[in-house]
Amino acid sequence: MEITIPHAIQAEHRELHAELAEIMTLGGKTAEAAQDVRDVLHPHLLAEEEFAMPPLGALKAVAANENVDEAPRIIEFSSRLRAELPRMLEEHRGIVQALAELEHAAEEERQPRAGAFAEKLRAHAEMEEEVLYPAAIVVGDYLGLRAVQ
């Protein structure tokens, strides 16, 4: 089994990038605020794709009690996520702060699409904090326990 990020997460990240790129073409303070969001979001998404999201590719196999050939690497990714979780959450706070500026500019310049994007990205960050990051850590923990048995 090759370690892959679930397609739905990859698609959502691509969609977020594409929407943000479109908002950056709107001009004015909205575009400037969108660029600030991009500046904090892009490196964060790269880190997620590097080590935070790959364990989720094994979640279906783990739930089906199937063998996971890449278990040691997944355990490594999960351990790294656990170690870097405080930084990842701090980055989320920076993203949310940049989104507040984007919302303010969007409201001021009457750009409802930009405001809707900010809400969507905020919800995405909440989903990661409440579901995806914990699930990625649990996958690694579970595989570690299963390896010991």
Give percent above pLDDT 70 in the chain: 99
Q: What tokens does 2 get? A: 């090759």
**What pLDDT, on a 0 to 100 scale, did the predictor assign at position 136?**
97
**What pLDDT, on a 0 to 100 scale, did the predictor assign at position 3?**
82
CA distances to 38, 59, 103, 115, 128 from 122, in Å: 14, 24, 11, 11, 10
Q: Which residues of 37-61 are buried (b: 16+ CB within 10 A; e: fewer)?
A: bbebbeebbebbeebbbbbbbbbeb
Q: Alpha-carbon distance 92 to 95, whole Å?
A: 5
Q: Alpha-carbon distance 88 to 12, whole Å?
A: 18
Q: What does pTM read for this prediction?
A: 0.92
Q: What tokens does 11 get? A: 């698609």
Mean local confidence (pLDDT), 49-65: 94
**What pLDDT, on a 0 to 100 scale, did the predictor assign at position 149?**
66
Give percent above pLDDT 90 in the chain: 91
Mean local confidence (pLDDT), 64-77: 92
Cα of 72 vs its chain's centroid, Å: 22
> Which DSSP helix (H) or strand (E) runs through 13?
helix 7-23
Q: Which residues contact 60 (CB under 8 A, 6 or more apart)?
A: none
pLDDT at 1 exceeding the cut of 70: no
Tens-place pLDDT, residues 87-115:
999 999 999 999 999 999 999 999 999 99
